[in-house]
Structure 1
Amino acid sequence: MAKNKLNLLADFPAVTTQEWMEKIVADLKGADFDKKLIWKTNEGFSVRPFYRTEDIENLEITNLLPGEFPYVRGTKTTNEWHIRQEIKVEDPAEANKKALDILNKGVTSIGFKINKKDLSAAFIAILLHGIQAESVELNFQTCISCSADLLTLLHNYFKSLNYDPMKLHGSVNFDPISKMLLKGKNLSEEEITQKAIATIEAANQLPYYRVIGVNALTLTNAGAHITQELGYALAWGNQYIAMLDEAGIDPATAAKRIKFNFGVGSNYFMEIAKFRAARLLWALIVEKYLEEEVEENRQAVSKMHIHAETTTFNMTVFDANVNMLRTQTEAMSASIGGVDSLTVLPYDCVYKNADDFSERIARNQQLLLKEESHFDKVTDPSAGSYYIETLTNEIAKQAWKLFLDIEEQGGFLAAVKSGSVQKNIKETADSRLKAISSRKEVLLGTNQFPNFTESASQKVDLEPHTCKCGCSNEHGQLETLPCVRGGEEFEALRFATEKAAKRPKAFMLTIGNLAMRLARAQFSSNFFACAGYEIIDNLGFNTVDEGVKAAEKAGADIIILCSSDEEYETLAPEAYKLAKDKFLFVVAGAPASMDDLKAQGIQHFINVRSNVLTTLQEFNRLLNN
């Protein structure tokens, strides 16, 4: 054994922030620190490249323990969460059979989506037959006009089997504001309040059923960024409490009935921080309604109950297995962030009805986090991280600012009716789509590093988007949220290529400087493969003439010249002269001689600043003319 113990403090003396900054500035060799290393988020604040103890010294939240008000570290002292799977009920017996099966495969929470015309005592009895309701969380969604009826049916069924109401946990997702956002139906405050009261009263005998939903997931799937989702969700929940309070429902009763359904995206650390900030802010909002209550009651009521679901915004049809990687990091964010339940969507759900295999994978993604990675054994492991604590604080500040803005507009319902919520999210979605089209936001396998040989149109088998609850699908008078995925426009390019009579061939004319030609050929191959073009790469040619003849022999439609900036001055005009009447001619890069080359007739250049989507759309147009 070693006689001397390792003394880290002695061997590695403390380094001040100033010393770190001096070293970083020196390594930048004159480059601007802010431009090179400060990251401006979509959420409205900047992220630095490193954080230190002093960055969180004044944050009170760092002194809290799990289960302590205002619950930034979780509403409970454990990190147990429910593994949830959704079932769309078309036949109650088949849905029951599936539910019993997945309960034996690790699921602890089920979400039933029910058509309103099917609701009856017999239907519920068949659907829940053999399911031990005291041992599993049961969640239901149906038309908002039937939520109270559904709760009455559930209570009667549970009573008939002598269940203890205190052991029954679940939810009914009554959320008329979500319907307004998705369908544009212009519901009045009075109508919403009446239905909400009826729903809460119908749940009187089910004390642990949360029956008012705040479906912020709809915002995430429409392209909202994190602080939009959180700020609007807080205003959304506050709207329900305020309306019910005015109608005579005790705010404590209202708050205990609300369940938040958040989306979770792939911005790993930001999503962890989002859930921490959400609990903090909601606790502060609810506490204000209960100032006359004793402290213990205030704190118990102000716990936010969170269900999370992986987003569809970043899911793709091409290279769909990458969706598993996306949902896995999302599941990690949600579980580390301390959600109460989680649905991981099957990787193929955006282009077909999920099958047994994809549903099994989705379940097992959570089971792996619990059974092999032990994510449920440590509560809020991110606590104390300088970075995540700072993110939590910044997200909370930005979301709170948005919450206050909404309140100044008259509340969330007024903002929805005016269309400001929909407008703001559409602007964010458009901005994100623009970032995806230029690769500032990467969708692996779609706008970056696509599978060159994949075809996917034959596997797409989705019905048009329709409401699943059986209510009217007609859009109303209000603006609706956009229905969008980040990869759709790139997928449209590839589908067009698949349907074309001839698949375009992109030929890499590699010549000159070895390192540059290889790098630019790889860049260009990935670029054109995003549209599904056939890629013909080459090791290199001795002359331009040799390369052009090889392209002609290969039946190419596009020639991409891949060389160094210096060599383009002579090689590009020579290649263009030989190729211009036979092929579309493209230069890979942005050489200093670009203006001179354009003056000689060369029109097309691709480089890291190119908007990949619009450039490929233009090539499609040129090839089809």
Structure 2
Amino acid sequence: MNNLFENFDSISEKEWKTKVQVELKGLEYNETLVWGTSDQINVKPLYTKNDISYQEVQPLPRTTTDWKIISKYTGNPKQDYSFLYGFEISSHQLIEALPSLPQYLDLFISVDDLADIHAFNSVKNLKYLDFDIFGYYAQNGLWSTETKEESFTLVSDILKNESFEKAIAIQGDVYQNAGANHVQQLAITLAHAVEYLETFGPEAAHKIWFKFATGNNYFFEIAKFRAFRFLWKLILEQYAIDAEAIIYATNSLRNKSKLDQYNNVIRSSIEANAMVLGGCDIINIQSYDQLYETTDFGLELAAKQQLLLQKESNLDQFSDPVAGSYYIESLTNQLAEKALELFKTIQTVGGFVKALENETIQDYIYTSARKEQKEFDTQGIHLIGVNKYKNPNEKLPAVRKEKVVKPALFLPIVPSRLAEKIERQS
């Protein structure tokens, strides 16, 4: 059987550009069709095999094609968990709910009280402890205990606890929610994780898992997850450690709004698809009404968004469906290269903690956040129903936001949403 493409004349990239230049009728090709991003990556209208090296293309190093669908535990005895792999649950909730929770569910436990940690040793289905002293330090400017030494001792004890499959959750999601671009998210999250390896030893890598937030730049988000998995593998090779990057992904809060909130369903669906194609291991889609009081209906709808992708679209049948895509492979390589350079820069100033204390990391993030906010305020970035096609009759109830000031050692990294200013005016 003849190759179908033998019936068509081939065309080079140069010939394609020449033809397009004629059609542009004098307009500049780069100014008209090439657009830049906050990651300092120029996106072209055409990608070819010349943009990637097939010798370097390989499927994601994953052991499974499936992903865990998890949801927030509400305490409602009628909450449907028949289609879930596990629950996100607080330590206080777990102590009360333990007798009624099926042991086949994986539990993702956030810590309300540090004393709760030692009460879990007899629980059979403990999997993931959501604990991160360096993440707390970054977000609060303070250690989670009275002293740094106490925090370090607590981590050492947790790493020895065999009850948890994974015990340290690198809070990479906070950087996206605070306004960091993709390169910054990758580099800072890597530096964050390496701080554990340097402080507690390379073996800590086996107890680490990663939390990421996913924004609406679809292809860049796919490439972000793929780039991170390769970068973490590259770093672990320097420590002679072989450990898989377990990636937990959820939706970004930065692009969510209380205005026209049903649009959040569409946003989270696009983000969920990017998480799947990016190869995330655990996905927790947030409820469309999470900015109000999350409802059982909202949580069920969020989980079933994933079921559509998994059971109807059959996206769990492929290990890496985007491998070999000229565009995504090019983005993956560029993000990885730029993130590695930024990671090295952070390491040269002393690593993650030192870069927090001298506010190098905050400068990166907040510079990016201010630029993004300005673009949103001037209609360079659109959120449907918020700053574009807004419902003029929609009014939000006035809510007084109390400002809590803590005696921080440095400027903390605080999440913010693009829509907050417009919401206050509604």
Give the TM-score of the pair, scaled to structure 1: 0.65
Q: 1:480 aligns with which of 399, 412, 421?
A: 412
Tell me: CA distance 1:193–1:356, structure 2 relative to 1, closer, same or farther (3 Å).
Answer: same
Is contact 1:347-1:358 (8 Å) kept?
Answer: yes
The letter for the 1-side match of 2:263 is: V
The letter for the 2-side match of 1:483 is: P
CA–CA distance in structure 2, aligned partners of residues 46 and 157 of structure 1: 50
What's the CA shift for 1:399? 0.9
Match of 2:192 in 1: 236
- Unpaired runs of 5+ residues, structure 1, are 66-72, 89-93, 159-167, 246-250, 291-297, 467-472, 495-625
CA–CA distance in structure 2, aligned partners of residues 377 and 169 of structure 1: 27
Is contact 1:144-1:175 (8 Å) kept?
Answer: no
1:511-536: CA deviation from partner (whole Å, max 9, x where unpaired): xxxxxxxxxxxxxxxxxxxxxxxxxx
Match of 1:128 in 2: 98
Give the TM-score of the pair, scaled to structure 2: 0.93
CA–CA distance in structure 2, aligned partners of residues 256 and 48 of structure 1: 39
Q: 2:10 aligns with which of 11, 14, 22?
A: 14
Output aligned runs, 1:240-389, within 5 Å: 240-245=196-201, 251-252=202-203, 254-290=204-240, 298-299=241-242, 301=243, 303-350=244-291, 352-389=292-329
Is contact 1:183-1:475 (8 Å) kept?
Answer: no
The letter for the 2-side match of 1:256 is: H
What's the CA shift for 1:237? 0.4
1:191-214: CA deviation from partner (whole Å, max 9, x where unpaired): 44222101112x22x3x6211111
Q: 2:156 aligns with which of 171, 176, 197?
A: 197
Q: 2:425 aligns with which of 471, 493, 512?
A: 493
CA RMSD of aligned residues (A): 2.2
Taking only the aligned residue pairs, the percentage that are identical comes to 29
Match of 2:137 in 1: 180
1:102 lines up with 2:80 in the alignment? yes
CA–CA distance in structure 1, aligned partners of residues 7 and 396 of structure 2: 57
CA–CA distance in structure 1, aligned partners of residues 403 and 165 of structure 2: 29
The letter for the 2-side match of 1:348 is: D
1:41 lines up with 2:37 in the alignment? yes
What's the CA shift for 1:416? 1.2
Match of 1:538 in 2: none
What's the CA shift for 1:154? 1.8
The letter for the 1-side match of 2:70 is: R
1:9-36: CA deviation from partner (whole Å, max 9, x where unpaired): 2432211111111111111111111111
Tell me: CA distance 1:29–1:304, structure 2 relative to 1, closer, same or farther (3 Å).
Answer: same
What's the CA shift for 1:157? 3.5
1:156 lines up with 2:88 in the alignment? no
CA–CA distance in structure 1, aligned partners of residues 214 and 393 of structure 2: 31
The letter for the 1-side match of 2:420 is: E
The letter for the 1-side match of 2:69 is: I
Tell me: CA distance 1:211–1:377, structure 2 relative to 1, closer, same or farther (3 Å).
Answer: same
Alignment coverage as a number of residue pairs: 424
Tell me: CA distance 1:221–1:53, structure 2 relative to 1, closer, same or farther (3 Å).
Answer: same
Q: 1:420 aligns with which of 355, 360, 381?
A: 360
Is contact 2:67-2:282 (8 Å) kept?
Answer: yes
The letter for the 1-side match of 2:105 is: V
Tell me: CA distance 1:173–1:108, structure 2 relative to 1, closer, same or farther (3 Å).
Answer: same
CA–CA distance in structure 1, aligned partners of residues 33 and 422 of structure 2: 30
Match of 2:177 in 1: 221
CA–CA distance in structure 2, aligned partners of residues 272 and 145 of structure 1: 35
1:444 lines up with 2:389 in the alignment? no
CA–CA distance in structure 2, aligned partners of residues 371 and 414 of structure 1: 46
CA–CA distance in structure 2, aligned partners of residues 312 and 218 of structure 1: 10
Is contact 2:174-2:415 (8 Å) kept?
Answer: no
Match of 1:561 in 2: none
What's the CA shift for 1:439? 1.1
Q: Secondary structure at the match of 1:210?
A: coil
CA–CA distance in structure 2, aligned partners of residues 268 and 364 of structure 1: 20
CA–CA distance in structure 2, aligned partners of residues 214 and 381 of structure 1: 27
Q: Secondary structure at the match of 1:442?
A: coil
CA–CA distance in structure 2, aligned partners of residues 465 and 59 of structure 1: 54
The letter for the 2-side match of 1:21 is: K
Is contact 2:70-2:283 (8 Å) kept?
Answer: yes
CA–CA distance in structure 1, aligned partners of residues 99 and 287 of structure 2: 26
1:257-291: CA deviation from partner (whole Å, max 9, x where unpaired): 0010011111101101111100100011111111x
1:489-525: CA deviation from partner (whole Å, max 9, x where unpaired): 122222xxxxxxxxxxxxxxxxxxxxxxxxxxxxxxx
1:142 lines up with 2:92 in the alignment? no
CA–CA distance in structure 2, aligned partners of residues 477 and 54 of structure 1: 49
Is contact 1:170-1:209 (8 Å) kept?
Answer: yes
CA–CA distance in structure 1, aligned partners of residues 406 and 128 of structure 2: 27
Match of 1:87 in 2: 73
Q: Secondary structure at the match of 1:457?
A: coil
Tell me: CA distance 1:475–1:210, structure 2 relative to 1, closer, same or farther (3 Å).
Answer: farther
Tell me: CA distance 1:87–1:463, structure 2 relative to 1, closer, same or farther (3 Å).
Answer: farther
CA–CA distance in structure 1, aligned partners of residues 25 and 149 of structure 2: 64
The letter for the 1-side match of 2:192 is: W
What's the CA shift for 1:7? 5.9
Is contact 1:216-1:262 (8 Å) kept?
Answer: yes
Is contact 2:90-2:112 (8 Å) kept?
Answer: no
Is contact 2:133-2:143 (8 Å) kept?
Answer: no
CA–CA distance in structure 2, aligned partners of residues 157 and 271 of structure 1: 36
